[in-house]
Amino acid sequence: MPRPATVSPEQILDAAALEFSERGYAGARVDRIARRAGVNKAMLYYHFGSKQSLYRALLRWIFSRAADRLLPIAAAAVPADEKIARVISAIAAFTAEHAFFPAIMLREVADGGVHLDPDTLQALARVPMVVGGVVRQGVADGTLRRVHPMTAYFSMLAPIVFFLAGEPIRKQLAARRLANMASLTPEVFVDELQQTVRLALAPSAPRASAAGRRHAHNRSSLRRKRL
C-alpha cells in the first residue's frame, strides 16, 4: 500500500511555515495557508484535521530537522569550541534554507508553549539538549570555562536567532533612517558572534594547546555555586 503520492501535504507544510512565521499562530489564517499551498481549504482539513494539528506538525518537522542538523556537529571529533562555532554556522545555514525558522522560534518562546502537545514539546527540546551536551562535554574536558550549559546555549543561540529574525524590522529602521545596520550582514554577524562566543567560553587561563586542564578558575571569586 504505497503512500498516496498526490501533491498536497508537503506543499501545505511549506505554506503553513510561511504563514505561521509571518503572523504567528493566532494571526495565521487557514484560508491563506490553503491558497498559498494552491489547495482547497477542505483539502487542508482532510490532511491535517485542524489548524492546531497543522501547527504542531510544522513545529515537529522544523525542530526535528534543526536538531538533526546539529547532531553530527556534536558527534564530531573536534574541540568543543570548534563545535560551538559550527553550531552557530549551522543555525545560520539552516535559516538560509528555511527563512521562517527564527521567527517561529521567537514566537514559540513568547507564546510559552501553549499550543504544544508532549510530542511537539519533545521535538522542540532536542535543540537545547544537543547544544547543552556539547557545552557540558567541553566544560568537563576543560575545553570551555565553567558555565551553566544553558547559559552558553542562550549566549550563542539567542543572538543568532534574534538577529536573523530581526531582518524585517532592521529594514524598517533603515527606511526611516532610525538606524543603519546594513554593514552587519549575516556573514559578518556570524563571524563576529563565533569569535564573541569563543572568547566568552574560553578557559580563563591564557591559552593551552587545547589539551586538558582540569578546571578553569574564575578570577572574580564569589560566583559559581554549582552547575
Partner DNA sequence: GTCTATACTTCGATAGAC
Partner DNA sequence: GTCTATCGAAGTATAGAC
Closer to a second copy by CB, 39 or 216: give it.
216
* Cβ contact 203:143 at 8 Å: yes
Distance of closest approach, residue 116 Cβ to a second copy, in angstroms = 7
Which distant-in-sequence residues (6+ apart) come within 8 Å of 185 by Cβ? none
Closer to DNA by CB, 73 or 103: give it.
103
Distance of closest approach, residue 50 Cβ to DNA, in angstroms = 4
Q: Which of 109, 140, 205, 208 binds a second copy (CB under 8 A)?
A: 109
* Cβ contact 203:142 at 8 Å: yes
- The option from a second copy, DNA, none interacting with 46 (CB < 5 to 8 A, set by class) reads DNA
Residues 88-97 as b or e (16 or more Cβ within 10 Å = b): bbbbbebbee
Interacting residues with a second copy between 141 and 180 (CB under 8 A):
145, 147-148, 150-152, 154-155, 157-159, 161-163, 165-169, 172-173, 176, 178-179
Distance CA 104, CA 100 (A): 6
Nearest to 140 by CA among 225, 220, 80: 80
Closer to DNA by CB, 7 or 109: give it.
7
Distance of closest approach, residue 211 Cβ to a second copy, in angstroms = 18
* Cβ contact 163:189 at 8 Å: yes
Q: Which of 18, 43, 99, 181 binds DNA (CB under 7 A)?
A: 43
Q: Is 114 a binder of DNA (CB under 7 A)?
A: no
DSSP 143-207: SS-S--HHHHHHHHHHHHHHHHHTHHHHHHHHHTTS---TT--HHHHHHHHHHHHHHHHS-SSS-
Residues that bind a second copy (CB under 8 A): 21-27, 103, 106-113, 116, 118, 121-122, 125, 128-129, 145, 147-148, 150-152, 154-155, 157-159, 161-163, 165-169, 172-173, 176, 178-179, 181, 183-184, 188-189, 191-193, 195-197, 199-202, 204, 218, 220, 223, 225-227
